Amino acid sequence: MTPHATNLGDSSASATRITPGNALRPEDIVEATRLGTVKPSEDVAEYALRLGDDALILAQRLGHWISRGPELEEDVALGNIALDQLGHARSFLSYAGAAWGKTEDDLAYFRREPEFRCAHLFEQPNGDFAVTIARAFIVANYQFLLYRELSKSTDSMLAAIAAKAVKEVDYHLDHSTQWVLRLAGGTDESRRRMVAGLNLMWPFVGELFQDDSLTARLGAAGVVPSSLKDEFDRSTGTVLAEADLDVSALHMSTGGGRAGRHSEHLGFVLAEMQVLAREFPGASW
């Protein structure tokens, strides 16, 4: 089915509907899965959980920048990217939850740290603006390739979510690319900070492209992470070369996020994100 073509649910009646037009919304996914027209397999749900957690934790990180950006334009830009990521997270989590009878909020607020499936890159603290840009640059390059391929998934819902997301990530890619060039080619200080940001973030690239038994089982429903690595190296390499930045000597960390082994940072992110929801379990907001 094409979720775009359906007119499901009454969420359009909400006074605070925030997605204009007939774009795919998390509410549409909930409605489609409720009606039983789509239901993810266990493997697809596990996979959606990974992608949803990546986007959710990044949105949580970026949300902190709003009102703290170096320019008002960046408050708006980083806020927009955070919103896009949160939208993708809600879609992936809503879809994943359908396999287990859980809502997006059950998954976001009531899972424990080892149950999260995000990669370490997404958990990393914002640092200064250059650190945030270094992370954003890696994420945008990765997600752009990932979603572009996933939009061809044999799972129609994953394909639909990815098709919407890739258009938005295209802007994130442009935003982070422009800033990598500006910071690397701006002043001595900005260059020093951009190099430091890449030194901090680049080690987490490796985990994004690790295959495992789940991605092998998914076949054409998912995207084999390692299949994206060459193009990732080319697309980031072009920009880094223009910026005269070299990441070739940086080591790769081992990762473990997909199996629930996280960095030192995720616990703090979850503590803050989940505190209110857990104070009132079962409450509606």
Partner 1 sequence: MAQNSEPNSSGASIKSVSSAASGKAVLDGLTPDPVQLAGQEHFDAVLAKDSRVEPKDWMPDAYRRSLVRQISQHAHSEIIGMQPEANWITRAPSLKRKSILMAKVQDEAGHGLYLYSAAETLGTTRDEMMDALVAGKARYSSIFNYPTVTWADMGAIGWMVDGAAICNQVPLCRASYGPYGRAMVRVCKEESFHQRQGFEILLELANGTAEQRAMAQDAVNRWYAPSLMMFGPPDDDSPNSKQSMAWNIKRFSNDELRSRFVGMLVEQVKVLGLTLPDDQVRFNEESKTWEHGPLDWDEFKEVLAGRGPCNAQRLERRRTAHEEGAWVREAAVAYHQKQQDKQKAAA
| Least Cβ distance, residue 128 to partner 1 (angstroms) | 7
Based on the shown chain and the rule CB under 8 A, indicate whether residue 64 belongs to the binding site for partner 1: yes
Is residue 124 near partner 1 by the rule CB under 8 A?
Answer: no
CB atoms within 10 A of CB 44: 23
- Read off the tokens for 245: 């930045």
Min separation Cβ 88 and partner 1, Å: 11
Quick one: three-class SS letters along the chain?
Answer: CCHHHCCCCCHHHCCCCCCCCCCCCHHHHHHHHHCCCCCCCHHHHHHHHHHHHHHHHHHHHHHCCCCCCCCHHHHHHHHHHHHHHHHHHHHHHHHHHCCCCCCHHHHHHCCCHHHCCCCHHHHCCCCCHHHHHHHHHHHHHHHHHHHHHHCCCCCHHHHHHHHHHHHHHHHHHHHHHHHHHHHHHCCHHHHHHHHHHHHHHHHHHHHHCCCCHHHHHHHHHCCCHHHHHHHHHHHHHHHHHHCCCCCCCCCCCCCCHHHCCCCCCHHHHHHHHHHHHHHCCCCCC
- Report the distance separating Cα 173 and Cα 21, nearest Å: 24
The residues in 3-62 that bind partner 1, with binding defined as CB under 8 A, are: 14-16, 18, 26, 56, 59-60
Q: Which stretch binds partner 1 (CB under 8 A): 85-93, 113-121, 209-217, 220-228?
A: 85-93
Asked if 82 is part of the footprint of partner 1 (rule: CB under 8 A), the reply reads yes
Q: Is 104 in the site for partner 1 (CB under 8 A)?
A: yes
Taking CB under 8 A as the criterion, the residue among 90, 135, 148, 164 binding partner 1 is 90
Q: Which of 3, 40, 87, 203 binds partner 1 (CB under 8 A)?
A: 87
The pattern of x and - marking residues 165 through 194 that bind partner 1 according to CB under 8 A reads ----------------xxx-xxx-xx--x-
Q: Per CB under 8 A, does 277 bind partner 1?
A: yes
Q: What is the contact mask toward partner 1 in residues 190 to 229, using x (rule: CB under 8 A)?
A: x--x------------------------------------
Q: Which stretch binds partner 1 (CB under 8 A): 71-79, 118-126, 208-216, 250-258?
A: 71-79
Residue nearer to partner 1 on the CB measure, 7 or 67? 67
Are the beta carbons of 203 and 251 closer than 8 angstroms? yes
- For the CB of residue 14, give the shortest distance to partner 1 in the complex, in Å: 8
Which residues of this chain interact with partner 1, rule CB under 8 A?
14-16, 18, 26, 56, 59-60, 63-64, 66-76, 79-80, 82-83, 86-87, 89-90, 93, 104-105, 108-109, 128-129, 181-183, 185-187, 189-190, 193, 272-273, 275-277, 280, 283-285
